Each structure stands twice: as structure tokens, then as C-alpha cells.
Amino acid sequence: MTVAIVGAGASGLTLAALLQRAGVSFVVLEVRSRSYVEERQRAGVLDYSAGQVYVKAGLEEAILGGVPLDDLLEIRYEGSARFLNVAQLAGGQHSYVVPQQLLVRRLIAMLVDSGADIRFGVSGVELHGIDQSRPRVTYLDEHGVPGEIECDFVAGCDGFHGVSRTSIPQEALTTYTFEHDIGWFTVLADSPAPKHALLAISSHGFAAQFARGPKASRFYLQHRPDAKDRLEDDEWIWTQLRLRLGDDGLPAGAITSRDHVEMRSFVVEPISYGRLFLVGDAAHIITPMGAKGMNLAVVEAAALAEALVAAQQGDSGRLASYSATCLHRTWNYQEFSRWMTEMVHDAGDDSLAGPFRRQLAKARLDRLFTSPPAAAAFADLMAGIS
């Protein structure tokens, strides 16, 4: 059996690593260079379920070795701190602080060292015959030389803007999109990492701070419609962060990257067609609230690896149920992300939600600190669905 893996991000590389362990042959095609992929900064936390993918595969040391565990979540309300010990509430299921670029770098090093076939810098990738028994993937290599991979299955791990999803006839897919009508900036700064993941709810708007290594933080910052052109305004950013975090002494560091976040959700159903299986962002986009994008990508890659290994042994049942199994998890995470999005925005700032919804959101927030079953249900989703 040969699997063509389109895309060398979190999902494609995880799938490759798991197939390699199982002795299934594969080729990975990636449009970007190795160094570009290794330096792309995005997510920062692997939840418990995603971490277990590497533990169960015997890759704990190679992928998770030396990374700190993540137990506590701070929710700061108008400057006053409250903590949830998420790992304890979830029965000891802790998350791992793993910047996405570290995960990607470790996976690539492991795969390349063991001779895996990863072709970086390709272009013009096209899928052919995905509804037939021997699909083909054509491309131009990094020197512009045409190449072709004949395979048994194609794994579409090429993100939202890739070619895999759009190779499926439109009439075969149902598409769901949802605009959250909230504006966010994201800023990466050389500012000391917070001790714990921090969500700050405030009448000035929502903000969050997460570690990205010991000396850097990723901040998220809600902006109202009248402030959406403030992304380049460092003074506005630091003033707003200090106000919302209730921390006058928050040190301003060099901002190394800044962007608008698309607060949009997207799902297609089904996520397989013929011999093509979509994985991760190729199949869905989830807002950063709840931090599930990378985790979904990793857990889906594991589900597909298991299904492909079973198929190689003559059991194609798991491939047949791959889409439904993954969509169940995806919709649960979309619901979790939306639930949290409403809570952290509405509880602080009633200029968008109005006073009634603000009270509802505050009740939802308080329940996390007053009802152990409510806190446990929250922690259960934070730990992830395997």
C-alpha cells in the first residue's frame, strides 16, 4: 500500500510518523520549504488526547521530551484572578506546552533521519482519479521537474487553502460556515511568558496571553469595529493589554508578528470521498478560542493512520467510518469553542451583547467556579476527545 500525503503540517507529519511506525509506505508533498514550515508559529498547546497519540505510538520522548506540562488556567475577571486546575478536574489528564513549530521540527527531524520521503518546495499539486482504485497525484518538484505518485490512498493534509478539499465534487459536500461577528488581533511578542494560560474578561474587551517558549507570549486582543485599524499601533496594543489584563506592569516587548484573526468556523461533510481522506484544517476551521485546531489535526491523523493500517490488513471498516467518527469530534469542539467565545466576550463587554446576555455569560462563568460537575465537564473538553 502507498499513501500520498499532501501537506507537511501538524496533520501530514503526524500521519507520516505513524505510518512509518506501522511499516506503511508513503510520500509527503509540501509546497513550502523545510525551513519555512519549521518556523511557522501558530498553536502552543497539545491537549491530553493529542499528546496520547505520540505516547501510544512510542514517540513520547522524541516528540514530547522535555516539554512542560500545562495544568492551570487563569481566568481573570476585571483584573481579579481565578484559577481552574484543569488537569486535576479532568482526572489527571494534563496538556503539554508544545509550540507548533517545535512539534513540526521534531517530527520532520525524526522522519528525515529515518529516510522518509518528504518532498519540500513542490508546486502545481493536482489529484486525479480519487474515486478510482489507483489515484495519482501530479506535481512539479522544487526544480520544476514534473513528478507523479501513483497510490492507493490520498491524505489531504494541506490546510484550508490546499487543493485536496477542492478536488472533491462540490455536490458531494455539505458546507457549514459561521461568522462570529467578533474582531481579534493576534500578536506575538518578546514578552515573558505567563505562568499559566490566561484569559482576561473585561469591560474593555477580551484579551488572552499564552506562553510561546519561556521568553515569548502570544496575545489575543478583541477589537471593536471602531478599532480594527489599530493592529500597527503598538501603543494602543500595550495600553489595551494592560487595561484588560489588569496589569499596569505588563512589560512591553518587541512585537515579532501581528495579524487579524478570522473569527470564523467552517466544516465540510463528509471528510472523505473515494480514496481521498481530509485531515485537519483541510476539513474544518475552528476559532483559536479553546485551542483545538492543532489538536483536531493530530487526533484525526491518528484516526486515519489506524484506519489505513487496518485496511492494509484487509479490514476497511475504519476507513468507511473515518468521516463520521471525526465529524462527531469536530462538532463537539466547534460547540465548545463557540460556548467559550460567547462566555469570555459577553461576560465582560456588553456593547455587542447587551446587558441581558452579559448576565447570562457571567452566570455561565461563575458556574465553572461553583459547580464541580460544570467545571469537570469543561475540563473534560479541555483534555480533548480521543
Query: What's the maximum distance between 2 C-alpha atoms anywhere in the chain?
Result: 63
* Min separation Cβ 114 and ligand RFL, Å: 20
Q: What is the DSSP letter of 103?
A: H
* Min separation Cβ 208 and ligand RFL, Å: 9
Residue nearest to ligand RFL (CB): 9
Residue (103 or 307) nearer to ligand RFL, CB: 103
- Lookup: cell for 334: 466547534
Residues that bind ligand RFL (CB under 6 A): 6-12, 29-32, 37, 42-44, 100, 125, 157-159, 162-163, 186, 280-282, 288, 291-295, 297
The rounded distance, in Å, linking the Cα atoms of 221 and 361 is 19
What DSSP element (H or E) covers 95? Answer: strand 95-97
The rounded distance, in Å, linking the Cα atoms of 244 and 236 is 12
- Lookup: cell for 321: 467510518
Residues 6+ apart with CB under 8 A from 145: none
* Min separation Cβ 28 and ligand RFL, Å: 9
Handedness of CA 227, 232, 235, 240 (dihedral sign): positive
* Min separation Cβ 294 and ligand RFL, Å: 3
* Min separation Cβ 165 and ligand RFL, Å: 10
Residue (71 or 358) nearer to ligand RFL, CB: 71
User: What are the helix (H) ranges across the chain?
Assistant: 10-22, 34-39, 48-56, 86-89, 100-113, 234-245, 293-312, 317-346, 350-370, 372-383
Residue (127 or 250) nearer to ligand RFL, CB: 127
Residue (51 or 293) nearer to ligand RFL, CB: 293
Residue (84 or 278) nearer to ligand RFL, CB: 278
What DSSP element (H or E) covers 118? Answer: strand 118-119
* Min separation Cβ 125 and ligand RFL, Å: 4
